[in-house]
Amino acid sequence: MRVYFATGSHTHKKANASVLIGAWQVIFLGRSASEAYAPLVALEPFVPFRDASSGSSTHNMTVLDCLAVSS
């Protein structure tokens, strides 16, 4: 099976797409978070995710953090 992954340069969309393809690798291919993240390194830098409140964020979550939670 081939999966074609394409994303633009918009930083938020790139981070969202990377989490989705990484989570797919963890869930369906049985890869670890670091194995799933390895091919995504070429797309760095990623914008970190943050809490949904207004004001300054107290915690930033990276793409790798999201993948670690899904594994």
- Give domain limits for the chain: 11-70
Q: Which helix (H) or strand (E) holds 45?
A: none
Q: Indicate the residue type of 17.
A: A
What's the predicted TM-score (pTM) here?
Answer: 0.84
- Looking at residue 41, what DSSP letter applies? G
Q: What is the pLDDT along the chain (71 residues), one digit of tens a residue?
A: 788 888 888 888 999 999 999 999 999 999 999 999 999 999 999 999 887 777 777 788 999 999 998 66
Q: Find out whether the peptide bond into 45 is cis, omega within 30 degrees of 0.
A: yes
The domain defined by 11-70 folds into Protein-Tyrosine Phosphatase; Chain A (3.90.190)
